Structures are given as structure tokens and as C-alpha cells.
A and B are shown apart, each in its own frame.
Chain A
């Protein structure tokens, strides 16, 4: 990691004093993140450049983590951390130039307090494109409002540069800026651009941000992005078995979306469709009077929460194939804060829709909400056999996207709403499938649409309510509710 800070003009020779680092000395500081060396490649009456070179030790980092049996990722040693400007460089800046960062100077207080001509270069700043900006654009959006003249040079990467711009820019900032502000801005914005922190983000991080952002952050047009990314917690390095298996396949763990807009399928910000779907499923559950319900593919527990709050439901089983997701569901549902009676209603089981699980037999209803489209078509018969054949609940409530409707979302034909969808059914296909399953396993089928109905394309989500032939129609059905 490398950064140079140049002061030009008549006051340039004062830089050494402002930084409290003698221009004719080479000084190395041993920091927790590595060895930081400060030296001056040039020092003339008009132009003085201080350089900070931070050497990190990835092998030492991994060895420490190996001891704690965490972070067993194949790519730990193969990392851009020794090269790319990150929170480690920010921390080094803060430590090595602490006095200047705080705007103090005994010998040149007026220079420290005023704007001075500066030129800062750091040659490999992480700058991944977001859905709104290219990497270089993002860098400009962050620094230009602060009065910097920004040069963000990109470089093509991959075999013979064939993969387009690398996710880094060679950043040069020039402008008249207070030195303390310049350092503070780097201190905050380098980790923001990296979108990661090498250390655990604790509660004092907010205070740090307020202090370092003084005078420039409040009015920054990208304040929201800066705050969100700066306060983002460290990526969980504790990997579970699933992550290890994914790594075996040379698959990369999906990075979290940058853009708040793309994170909407998360439970915090349900889209209207997600709420409508919940309502439709709950309506179906109530209509058939189900009291013991399984949510097969419960995910983080969006449906479980609603079912827990419904006093008519006496037993709820959340089933998911991912142990990690179940743990997450348990936390989200706040089971440790709920009453014993409520907690007793709920069980969370790891199971799979394609393996027959006799524990699932004998329930009033099994919910399969937006699950079936995640199965390869050749495994649907296994789901049919385990749900309709073996578990045989009185009712099955199943939802899946309506492929006909995808046009409304502007999706080209043959592309799906989610990268993990293996297929999506048109209304005709869904109706045919549901009828076949109903006939084969002895269930009546009722099809419904969920969401705003398009006259031609139907509703965005389709719902099938299956009722076992030997189960009587609930009283009041068909009389209008």
C-alpha cells in the first residue's frame, strides 16, 4: 500500500513540520497492520513529497487466524490487501500522521489551520463499479464535492487486459485543502471505497466518523453512502460448512449488494408484492382453518413471524435446507425474548424438500412459498413424493412466479427473476402441473393470483391451494368472505 502527499508552493518545506516527519530521514513504524515507512522521495524549496509505504504480512495474518480455526478460505494468501489502499492504510495514516490529522502544529499553526496546495496520490484504490457508477465515477463523486481536482486513472486487467478496467483506480487529488481535512477525508473515504474494514466495527466507530467527518461530511452529497459503508460491520470471517463446500467449486461467495435498491428482497424492506403474497398465503391458511403448519423453505422466517403472531396457529415448524439460515431465523425471530408459550409453538428443523422426512407427516398445512422454482426440474418429482405422497398434509399452499408476467418487469423471455431460479412457470404450465399433482396424489386444486393483476398477463405471483380429497371443504367457503 502506497500513498504520496505533496505540498507545493512557497510553504512546501513546511510539510515536514506539519507532518512531524523529517524530510531527510527514513522512519519505520511497527503497527498492528504492518510496517509503515515514511520517506521523502523529493524535497525542494517549491515541492516536498512525503511517501507512506505500508508493508503487510498476509502469511502472518492467516497464520494467526488459522490458530483460531477461522477464516479457512483458500484465497486468504492470495489477496489484494498488500497492494490496495484500504482501511489498513487509513489506520496507518491516522497513526503515523496523528498530529496533522488532528490539525495541530506547534511551529506552523496558521498553515495547519489554512488551506494549502496539496497533491495526493495513491496508485491502487479499490473502486468497484456500483449499479449507478463506474468505479472511477464513484471516486469522483466522493472527492470532487470536497474541492479536489480528481484524476482517477484505470487500467485494464486479465489476460492481456482483455477483461476491461480493473476494480482499482490510480487516484491523484490536487487542490487547496486544509491538510487535516485531506487526511481525515482519506481516513474515512479509503475504507468507504474499499467497502470493507479489516477490524471489528464497534460502537466507537460512529464517534470516529463524526470526529473525522467534521466540517465536510454533513454537507457531502454522498453522505448516505459514506455513512452506510463506513459503519458496515466487518464481513463475517467465520465460515460454515456450506461456504467451505462452495469454495471447493471455485465459487465466490456473493458479495452483498452495494445499492440499497437491490437489497429489497431482504426482510427489512418488503416490497408490496412480498406483503401481498404474505397476506394471500395467510388468508389461505386461515380459510382452511389450519392450526399446525409447516413452512417448508422458511428462509429467515418472514412467514414464521406472521404465523407466530396468529393465535389460531398452535404449532409451527420452520424448515430450511440451510443451517446458517435457520440460525439467522432464530435470531431474527427474537425467540429469547418471546414468551415460553410462543416459543413452544415453533420448531426449526433442517430438512430438504427432495428428501422424504417423516417428521413432516400429519400437519394441517405445508407452505411452499417461492420454493419450487429453486429446484432443478428433474427433482420436482422428489418434492411431489415427499410433500404430497409422504407428508400428505391436509393442505398445501404453494406460490411461484408467473412467467407470463415477467414482461411487465422488462425481463427478456427465458430469463428469471432471481439468478437461482431454475425455471419459472407460465400460468398454463402451473395449472397443468398443479392439476396433475392433485390428480395423482388425491388433492383438490384451487388457483389464485397474487398481486396487481394485468388483464392479459395475470398476477405477478401464482398461488395454488391444494386440499386433500378426504378433507371436507371448510364451512363458509364460497359464501364470500
Chain B
């Protein structure tokens, strides 16, 4: 058995004449979709595996698919003869373009074997000639494969060897995805040993010293590990001391490290190559000159052993000295290494003679946190989930560390200016503007990662609708850090005369394994999100539109701020901003035009049309008809007048329904003037500085709402509530009674939610975050005045809730994600991405009456 080591992410190129057994070998040694054969692609484009005239198109297709797979980080095998140098060169280039390693496996079986095999195959009518020519080409190629760029070349020279070869996948050197930390990532040390020791101490490490008092290791009692971002050496007072400590820590398993450009240069110098001993290298070399040879060798070997970037914690953390764009994470190629060491450079230099570095971090859109150094900056600034940790310690700045996964930073001040900077240490200009949003952040088909539900997919069509609304009607995205999810109604009631009833809500939660629920009064107004911050804020609708003009909004926010302060919430939550979920009343404040254009006319038309119809029917019923002349089509009995009985009854009933309808919508209408008459019923505190409150139970949220009501009863409105144990019949009966009372008094209905708020998924069932149970009269506004007629009700019962529920869950997950990103201080585009997702899902076509 021959073991063929192959990097886990590589482009494997099979080389062998027709009939050498490539496809059989590939099918045995690799997974089904990993292998792409030129014959297959030829058949795809032409219908015939052997149609040589289709080869050019077939290889286009093959390259395209290979490219897509490599982009996605998948090992791919190309099954084609590949005996010509040109064919291989294009594959080597393809591998390089996607920054994976090309590997060649040569199947060099005796030519006669191949000839015999082909002779036995009806679809290969060509004779010996082509195979012999291929074999000759192959033999000429074998020696040069390494020079052609293949990182590994395996040659199998017999049928047996081919049959017995086994592929052994090797982990890439940069692949530390199984290392989950916690880590402390330390920025450019540049020989600042004292500061490094201070920082390690601050981070809780215990420094170990040898008999000579030299720091040789540091260990964290909690098992944390250091990751050095490179540039340990040069410029500073003790590069050797830093090396000794870092080498000791890596050897003991207490640290990982990537090389910086200064280590790369140091290796060349130690190799005796001709390098200019400048930029502080002269100091390191001088220090090393005083060390024994053995130490110099160790330093060289250690520096050589470092891998240019590391992918840690399931791919969620990437370390590279100069940072790394997403396409390069976990890849291996010359340009990946060069990017990791030197950054995204153009080869130009600036007025200080330093290389111009392109702002890759501003373009960065990856999920992984990238921690890096290389470019000294005065402050630690997150840029799109990347953090530069080089705070210029050697130039008199600070030495900084990132605690991961906590995402906290820790810095110690430099003990002095150890080296004069060439360029003053000033803030980096031309960062991506804090507010900048890109079309790619939102448009097209996208998947948004959420912590609650994994990936939520947004279709291009939904995104397109949302883009228009977001651009034309919504507030500035920075004022819209959250949009509320839709909510599903309760399962359709079985009870006579009702479309919705609380019994189903309690039963459904019991089924979902949620024992305790809270019933909250549903206010009939408009859903409103209140975002208060010092200096600005917004009160906006479900689509991110402002409710009021600038002036009125400012007044409203001032009142909210005052109430928050007088209730002491700002102190208690330790925040000068708050994000509140609420209902704004009256309905007419927002829906004025809808009421005027749609709801009120319906009532008016009914009130005008039906009474004359009823009167005419009564007249007809009372008419004295000469019976002798009457033909009775249906043979029914009548004593006098025309037989309009059932029609009269129906019409009278429609008249009564229309009045009930008119009364129903008018309950939610009252005049407002400025803020007079406007009320806010807050029912959830979404977020404040550093905290999302999705995990607090609803009683906590409502208690805070109550304090706001107490502080400003004119503006805030109480949300009545009742906790119900769904397994307790008495409690359920109380819940039903409570709802009946509420709705009979004209209330819209109630929302039933898991009392604990964010609930875990049980037995594969994902409970809805809330179910609405709307009142019988209120539903006339939704389903029309006559929906209560038995025939209508029966037809309306047949409604499908599954789409609505699925949407409600996805939107809920995106809403939580938006809040989580907001409180984590992520950049605007990250928050906006999730908010935009909610809006896009809201544009899905689903029965709007649900």
C-alpha cells in the first residue's frame, strides 16, 4: 500500500494516458463530487464523451466548476490525461488563482496495459497511435512536474501501485480550527520585553524565569494562550529576551505565533543573505551576536517554523501579521503569505519611504474576526470585525492585547520611546466611513448568519423590494437598528362563532413544551420602535419610517428621555441609550389616510345603501299581492306579500354587521394634536449599552414599562397582562375569561408569549415568540363586516398559518441578531444587514390578514 499525502485543500491533477485507470482510481480514492472529469464535461456540453471538437468548451466548463469549488474551500480532483505541459500549466494557474496547492498524481502504467484497456472499450475507437504519443509526452513530463509548480508529485508506476494507493489528507499548516482558546492576541512587541512582561502579568499570566532570571515561559492558570501577531524583534531594547520568552511559550504550548515581516527579514539575515540591516534589524543582529551559536540556530529554526497565518476556533478567528482578506483565509500560496506578512501593498511608497498599504480592512466582509498588527496606530479601532493590535509600543505608544472570545482589549503604556518613528504616529485617515453601507451588504440573494437560527436566506426579489423602501421611505439606517418581526395568529378556533380564541394559544404552547405563558393586552395602534440616544434618536414604524416630523419626534424623545431619567432606568441599566419595542396609539395617528380612504367609506357606503334596501324589502313583504296571479316557483308557504323573507333577514343582518364594523374601527380613532393624545405602550426593552434583554422574562420588561407609565402617565400607557400556567385548567380558564372581558370591552385582543421570553428549542420544536389572539369584533376590521356569518366563518377557517409562522421565526431571529450586533458595537453595515433582512422578509407575499 502506498500512502499519498495530499493537503486537505488542494487541486489534485491526475496525469496519465487514456486507459491508465485514472477514473477508476479517482472513484476509489476520492469522494464522488470531488472528481471532475474532462470526459464528463465533454458530454455535458456536447452529449458525447468522446467528441474531441467539444474539448475547448468542455475545459471551460471544467475550469469554471473547479474554480467555484476551490472558492468554497473544497478539495478537487481533475481527471483528464494532462499529459501536455500546457494542460497542466492552466491547472497550476487555476490553483494559484484560488490560492490552493496543486498536487500531481501520475499514473504511469505500462503503455501496453492502457492500449489493451482501450481496445476493450467500444467508445474509444482510436488505435494505439494516440496512446503511444501520450505515453511519450508523459515520460518527458514527469521529471519537470515540481518545476511546473506542483507542490507534491506522486508517481505510481504499476497497476498494483495504482490499485493500492491510498490518499492521506494532511491538515494545512495554518489550520487550527480545532483550537478554541480562549486566547490573548498580542500586538507587535518589537523587542519591548519589559512591556511584554507587564502585559502578560496584566492578562493574568505567571512568568517563569530561568536560573539567570530570564523570562523563558508564561503560563495562565485558566489555560488561556497567547497568540503573537509577529514582529517580535527589531528596534526595541531586548529582541533576544522577547524571542526567548516567545519561543519558550510556544514550546510549552502556552503560545502560538505568526511571523511578521521583521522575522522574515531576520531569517534571511541569519541565512547569511545580503540584507540591509536597517529598520532596527541592526539592533537585533547585534544582540544575537552576543548569544551562543546554538541560540542563533534555534531562533532561525523557530522563525522558519512559523506559518504565515492561523485559522482558529472553527474559522471564527484569523491571525496574520498584516491582516488577511477573507478569500485568503485558510489558503496557501505565495501571495497569501505575502499579504499576511506585508499587507495589501501596491509596491509604491509614501513620502516617508514606507510602502503604501491598501485599506483591506475597510473592504472586509468576513465572519471571522481578523486580529493583526504591522501598522502602528494610536488607538485600537475595530474596522469591520478586524482589529489592528499594533499600538506602536516601541515608538512610545502602547503594547496591546485582544482577549478572545471576550473581544476586550488590554494595553500597557510603553516605558519610553525606544525608537524614533519615521512617520509620526497619527490617526489613520481615510478609514471606511462609520456609516458607509454598500449595495453588496444588502442586495441580491444573501444568507445572514444568526445566533438563534443559523443562516437565514433572503431572496433577491425580497431584497429588491426592501431596498426601495429602505432608500426612499425609511430613516437613516443608523437610526433604525432594529425592526420588529411579524407575529402569527393563534391556530384557528374550533369554537362556534369564533375565528380566534385563547384556548388554542394555551394548547399550542403546551404542545411546544412551554409551561408558563404571559397574556399581554394587544393595543390597537401602530407598532413603534423607540430609539433614544443623547442628542438624537427616532420613533419609527415596522418599515423604518418615522412617525412624526423632526420637531415632533424631538419633543417625543425628550419626554421619553425625561421619563427614563425620572424612573432611574438610565442609571439602573448603565446606559445613556435605550431601544424600546412599543405600540403607538391611536391607530389614527399613523393610519389616518387608510381610515379615510378605506375603512370609513366602507361603513358609510353600507349605512347609505342598506337601509333603503331593507325598507324596500319590508314594503315588498307588506304588499298585498293578489294570490291568484302569483306563481310560486319554490312552492314555499307565504301568507301575504312577496316572499322576500330570507333576503330581508340577510340584509338586516348585514346592516347590523356594518354598524358593528363601524363601531369597531372607530374605537381606535381619536383626535391628536401634536403629541396630545399620542400614547406609547412599551412592552419590551430591546437593548441598552452593552446588553440585549431578550433573555429577561416578560415580567421584567413590563415592570420597566410600568415605571415609565408611572413617570409620565400622559404619554405612556399600561399594558395589562396575566400569567397563565398552560397545564392548569383553572389558570387557562382565567386566561380565557380575561381575554373575553378584554375584547368584549372593545379591546383588540391579546398576545400570548412564553413568559421566559427567549426559550430554548424543545424536542426539535421551535416555539413561536408570540401568538396573537384577536377579538371577535376587532376581526371585522380584518375580515370584513360580515365575516361572522356562519357560511363566511366556515370558509375563513381554512387558512394556512405555516408560512406566516416560518416567517415569524426567521424575522425574530434576524431581529435578535440585529440587537446583538448593535450591543456588540459592530459596524453599521453589520447591524443594517440583519435589519434589512427583516424588512426583506416582511415583503414576502403572505396573507396579510394573518
A contacts, CB < 8 Å to B: 1-2, 4, 22, 24-26, 37, 39-43, 49, 51, 53, 55, 58-60, 63, 66, 69, 72-75, 77-80, 82-84, 121, 123-124, 126, 155, 157-159, 163, 166-168, 170, 240-242, 244-252, 255, 321-323, 350-359, 374, 376, 378-379, 381-382, 385, 420
Contacts and interface: CB of A to CB of B under 8 A. Distances in A.
B631 A25 contact: yes
B843 A245 contact: yes
B609 A59 contact: no
Given A63-B795, A321-B472, A323-B468, A2 B438 contact: no
Contact of B438 (A155, A245, A356): A356
A80 B669 contact: no
A249 B471 contact: no
A354 B467 CA distance: 10
Interface string B458-482: 0001101111111111011000000
Interface stretch (B32-40, B383-391, B538-546, B698-706): B538-546
Contacts of A24: 625-626, 629-630, 642
B503 to A, nearest CB: 24
Contact of B612 (A84, A121, A357): A121
Contact of A381 (B435, B595, B795, B844): B435
Highest count of chain B CB atoms <10 Å: which of A66, A80, A126: A80
B543 A249 contact: yes
Contact of B442 (A168, A245, A355): A355
Given A40-B642, A77-B849, A245-B842, A1 B609 contact: yes
B795 A83 contact: no
Contacts of A53: 613, 616-617, 647, 651
B609 A376 contact: no
B526 A78 contact: no
Contacts of A126: 605
Contacts of A354: 437, 471
Interface residues of B, number: 95
Interface string B312-330: 0000000000000000000
Contact of A77 (B443, B543, B616, B782): B782
Nearest to B441: A355
B849 A39 contact: no
Contacts of B468: 242, 321-323
B602 interface: yes
A40 B626 CA distance: 14
Nearest to A239: B845
A192 B577 CA distance: 55
B612 A2 contact: yes
B608 A247 contact: no
Contacts of A72: 845-848
A28 to B, nearest CB: 8
Contacts of A356: 436-439
B467 A352 contact: yes
A42 B623 contact: yes
Interface string B809-850: 000000000000000000000000000000100111111110
Given A241-B461, A245-B466, A249-B590, A74 B782 contact: yes
Nearest to A58: B784
A83 B647 contact: no
B421 interface: no
Contact of A74 (B470, B661, B848): B848
B356 interface: no
A85 to B, nearest CB: 8
Contacts of B593: 251-252
A155 B605 CA distance: 10
A168 B608 contact: yes
A241 B464 contact: yes
A59 B795 contact: yes
A355 B437 contact: yes
A333 B216 CA distance: 76
B360 interface: no
Given A24-B625, A24-B630, A123 B612 contact: yes
B584 to A, nearest CB: 11
Contacts of A385: 433, 436
Interface string B573-598: 00000000000000100110111111
Nearest to A320: B468
A321 B439 CA distance: 11
A123 B433 contact: no
A252 B469 CA distance: 14
A357 B438 CA distance: 6
A42 B641 CA distance: 11
Given A40-B642, A72-B848, A245-B465, A123 B608 contact: yes
A40 B620 contact: yes
Contact of A59 (B467, B612, B617, B792): B792
B591 A250 contact: yes
7 contacts: A72-B848, A83-B608, A121-B612, A166-B605, A246-B543, A354-B437, A355-B443
Nearest to B433: A385
A24 B439 CA distance: 71
Contact of B608 (A66, A170, A255): A170
A50 to B, nearest CB: 10
B616 A250 contact: no
B617 A41 contact: yes
Contacts of A77: 782-784, 787, 849
Nearest to A85: B609
Contacts of B470: 352
A37 B845 CA distance: 37
Contacts of A240: 465
A119 B631 CA distance: 28
A159 B666 contact: yes
Interface string B526-542: 10000000000000011
Nearest to B643: A26
Contact of A352 (B439, B647, B784, B787): B439
Contacts of A121: 612
B666 to A, nearest CB: 5
A355 B439 contact: yes
Contacts of A420: 472
A145 to B, nearest CB: 25
B606 interface: yes
Given A74-B849, A78-B782, A51 B620 contact: yes
Contacts of A251: 593-594
Contacts of B783: 59, 77
Contacts of B542: 248-249
Contacts of B436: 356, 382, 385
A78 B781 contact: yes
B44 interface: no
A72 B843 CA distance: 11
A41 B601 contact: no
B601 A80 contact: yes
A379 B783 CA distance: 40
A248 B608 contact: no
B691 interface: no
A26 B461 CA distance: 53
B392 interface: no
Given A41-B619, A78-B782, A241-B845, 18 more contacts: A25-B631, A25-B642, A37-B644, A39-B644, A77-B784, A78-B602, A80-B606, A82-B654, A124-B608, A168-B601, A168-B605, A168-B608, A244-B842, A246-B473, A321-B468, A356-B439, A382-B435, A382-B436
